[in-house]
């Protein structure tokens, strides 16, 4: 009820008082500045919201859950009307968001679903299951699995267990590859297949590298070929790449490596032939969609969502606005990343 009252008050302010949208305060909580993509997300969100006339409080929490909780508390105390939150741990914000709910604050979960609470109002993300299916299908096509008569060796590197999206990425990819495992065309020599076995806490490159070091030593040091490594994102792909370099892999036995986010270092690896692809999630698109949602909330209009069935957070199914991802590889990265203005050519130069 308080949330409805808030929306009504916001509409009255905008419609009848002649007060600019700048009177509406938006708190934007991002998980960390240690990954390039979150810097871009935060910067895009702040720029677009301020251009639309809102007051923006942007905070990064350095992957510290307690710090993020404190930042959100301060946003609430400082009069935030709407919160946009990319959570570090999607299950850790229930208590602070109860406070937001009591204050009638609308909460939009940003690219990471906030779990175990009804205080989250909406979810804005990319189609995370599709991200995984794109990665899986890329391997199917590159490895020629449809017509393959022999067997290829693949290892799986998934994301952080505390990030709900990581399971969607993993499941989307695994659902594509599993039929080929069952048909004997794909082997996973390590035997590590379950999400819990292949997950990478905090998405850390060094964690992915350490695990890949162990996988290579245990399964490939005798010359067994490694044909592909399905990495859920670019930070894990960097760790895998470092492990392969340290183990002496060369161009003639380099595996196909997937990724996600099109981070600069990974696009450079793509150009150098060390990473095959990366799923491109244009953060400008996601930020623009969130701004549309916020404007609809402020104006008392129907909030744009296109999925009301998929994203159950343990309490209820959160209305969601999905954006569609695509992939970049050596054949199209210039069009997607340079011609679109996402990066300059100099940024991708070695």
Enter the DSSP assignment of 222: T
Residues 147 and 273 grouped into a single domain: yes
Residue 21 confidence (pLDDT):
53
Q: Which residue segment(s) compose the domain that 218 sits in?
A: 128-281+344-348
* Separation of alpha carbons 285 and 41, rounded Å: 10
Question: 328 lies in a domain?
Answer: no
Residues 132 and 273 grouped into a single domain: yes
pLDDT tens profile 280-323 = 999 899 999 999 999 999 999 999 999 999 999 999 999 999 99
Residues 133 and 254 grouped into a single domain: yes
Mean pLDDT of the chain: 93
List the chain residues with pLDDT less than 50.
1-20
* Separation of alpha carbons 41 and 241, rounded Å: 25
Question: 251 lies in a domain?
Answer: yes
Question: 277 lies in a domain?
Answer: yes
| Tokens found for residue 151 | 């067997």
Number of domains forming the structure of the chain: 2
Determine phi and psi for 245, rounding to 5 degrees. -60, -45
Q: Which residue spans within the chain are E strands per DSSP?
A: 25-30, 55-60, 82-85, 106-110, 122-126, 152-157, 186-187, 228-231, 256-257, 277-280, 320-323, 326-329
* Separation of alpha carbons 72 and 52, rounded Å: 22
CATH number at residue 293: 3.40.50.2300
Question: 334 lies in a domain?
Answer: no
Question: 329 lies in a domain?
Answer: no
Q: How far is CA 338 from the centre of its chain?
A: 21
Question: 28 lies in a domain?
Answer: yes
How far is residue 122 from each of residues 23, 196, 245, 342, measured CA to CA in Å? 22, 28, 43, 27
Question: 338 lies in a domain?
Answer: no
pLDDT tens profile 135-193 = 999 999 999 999 999 999 999 999 999 898 999 999 999 999 999 999 999 999 999 99
Radius of gyration (C-alpha) of the chain in whole angstroms: 21
Residues 153 and 287 grouped into a single domain: no
Residues 60 and 103 grouped into a single domain: yes
Residues 32 and 69 grouped into a single domain: yes
Residues 139 and 227 grouped into a single domain: yes
Residues 113 and 228 grouped into a single domain: no
Residue 147 confidence (pLDDT):
97
Edge-to-edge strand order for the sheet containing 152-157? 186-187, 152-157, 228-231, 256-257
DSSP states along 48-62: HHHHTT-EEEEEE-T
Residues 275 and 292 grouped into a single domain: no
Residue 350 confidence (pLDDT):
78
Residues 164 and 208 grouped into a single domain: yes
Which are the contacts of 200, defined by CB distance < 8 A and separation ≥ 6?
157, 158, 159, 160, 207, 208, 211, 232, 236, 239
Residues 77 and 178 grouped into a single domain: no
Using CA atoms in the order 115, 118, 122, 125, what is the torsion angle rounded to 10 degrees? 10
Question: 7 lies in a domain?
Answer: yes
Residues 140 and 91 grouped into a single domain: no
């Amino acid at each position: 009820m308080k949330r409805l009252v808030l929306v009504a008050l916001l509409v009255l302010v905008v419609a009848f008082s002649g007060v600019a949208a700048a009177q509406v305060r938006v708190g934007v909580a991002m998980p960390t500045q240690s990954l390039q993509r979150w810097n871009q997300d935060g910067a895009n969100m702040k720029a677009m919201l301020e251009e639309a006339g809102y007051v923006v409080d942007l905070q990064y929490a350095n992957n510290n859950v307690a710090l993020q909780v404190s930042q959100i508390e301060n946003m609430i105390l400082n009069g935030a009307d709407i919160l946009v939150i990319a959570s570090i741990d999607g299950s850790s914000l229930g208590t602070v968001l109860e406070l937001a709910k009591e204050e009638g604050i609308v909460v939009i979960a940003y690219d990471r679903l906030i779990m175990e609470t009804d205080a989250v109002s909406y979810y804005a993300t990319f189609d995370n299951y599709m991200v995984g299916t794109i990665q899986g299908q890329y391997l199917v096509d590159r490895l020629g699995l449809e017509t393959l008569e022999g067997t290829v060796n693949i290892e799986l590197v998934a994301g952080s267990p505390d990030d709900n999206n990581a399971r969607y990425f993993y499941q989307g990819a695994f659902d594509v590859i599993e039929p080929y495992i069952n048909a004997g065309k794909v082997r996973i020599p390590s035997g590590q297949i379950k999400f819990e076995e292949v997950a990478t806490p905090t998405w850390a490159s060094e964690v992915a590298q350490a695990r890949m070091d162990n996988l290579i030593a245990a399964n490939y040091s005798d010359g067994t070929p490694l044909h592909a490594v399905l990495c859920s994102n670019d930070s894990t792909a960097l760790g895998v790449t470092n492990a392969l370099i340290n183990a002496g892999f060369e161009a003639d036995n380099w595996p196909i490596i997937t990724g996600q986010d099109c981070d600069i270092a990974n696009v450079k690896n793509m150009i150098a032939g060390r990473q095959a692809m990366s799923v491109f999630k244009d953060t400008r698109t996601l930020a623009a969609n969130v701004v549309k949602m916020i404007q609809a909330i402020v104006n008392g209009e129907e909030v744009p969502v296109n999925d009301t069935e998929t994203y159950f957070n343990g309490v209820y199914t959160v209305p969601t606005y999905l954006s569609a991802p695509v992939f970049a590889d050596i054949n199209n990265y210039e069009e997607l990343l340079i011609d679109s203005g996402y990066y300059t050519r100099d940024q991708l130069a070695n």
